[in-house]
Chains A and B, each alone.
Chain A
Amino acid sequence: GENVEQHPSTLSVQEGDSAVIKCTYSDSASNYFPWYKQELGKGPQLIIDIRSNVGEKKDQRIAVTLNKTAKHFSLHITETQPEDSAVYFCAPAFTGGGNKLTFGTGTQLKVEL
């Protein structure tokens, strides 16, 4: 099965700085790469996703980059704000296999004032 690792497990940044979280996966068949944000007591919220035929995607302050050869993809958050503080999960999937998401272990991001 898919083995997914995230780094770092915790990340503390100053407000306005950038944050980068890296996700490494093992299944070369994976072709869908989403990032989810989970706040305390809530369900995961999809914040950005990318397909395997695209190397980078940006949505305002959030971007995702994909390196299929090296089997990793990264979440980039620029101009961080306190409300960005949450746990972030990557969850690669092979859509031909029913789109079953395999979640990473999560990264606790803390944005300090």
Chain B
Amino acid sequence: NAGVMQNPRHLVRRRGQEARLRCSPMKGHSHVYWYRQLPEEGLKFMVYLQKENIIDESGMPKERFSAEFPKEGPSILRIQQVVRGDSAAYFCASSPSGGGNNQPQHFGDGTRLSIL
């Protein structure tokens, strides 16, 4: 009964490189959320996706950041041309359905991204 799986757990990139973070939701869950956590802070919402659809990307920077949740495979959060300020822990959560049905979100253990 696997929970939300994120990989890699730790990722180190140099400035200007690309970072790809993966999230496999819990079995039976079709809704995925990405959050970012800076040190000593709470999580901040980035994007909410269903299979093949972005529902809400209001928390995601307009440039360099993109997210997808294809029909097959994990959800991907992609950060292009990374900068030092992108260093953070990125968490993925999943739920069986969306907000209208009041389904709780269950989180993975995150990817810690460090930019050199």
Contact = CB atoms under 8 A, between A and B. Distances in A.
Interface of A: 4, 32, 34, 36, 41-46, 49, 51, 89, 91, 93-106
23 contacts: A34-B104, A36-B107, A44-B107, A46-B106, A51-B102, A89-B42, A91-B43, A93-B99, A95-B99, A95-B102, A97-B56, A97-B99, A98-B48, A98-B56, A99-B33, A99-B48, A99-B102, A101-B45, A101-B105, A102-B45, A103-B35, A103-B43, A106-B42
Contacts of A46: 104-107
A93 B4 CA distance: 21
B102 A32 contact: yes
Chain B's interface size range is 20 to 34
A100 B100 contact: no
A43 B34 CA distance: 12
A101 B98 contact: no
B25 interface: no
Contacts of A98: 48, 55-56, 98-99
A99 B91 contact: no
Interface string B1-26: 00010100000000000000000000
A101 B58 CA distance: 13
Contacts of B56: 97-98, 100
A89 to B, nearest CB: 6
Contacts of A101: 33, 35, 43, 45, 93, 105
Given A95-B100, A97-B99, A104-B42, A43 B109 contact: yes
B103 interface: yes
Interface in B37-61: 41-45, 48, 55-56, 58-59
Interface string B77-116: 0000000000000010101001111111111111000000
Contact of B99 (A34, A91, A96): A96
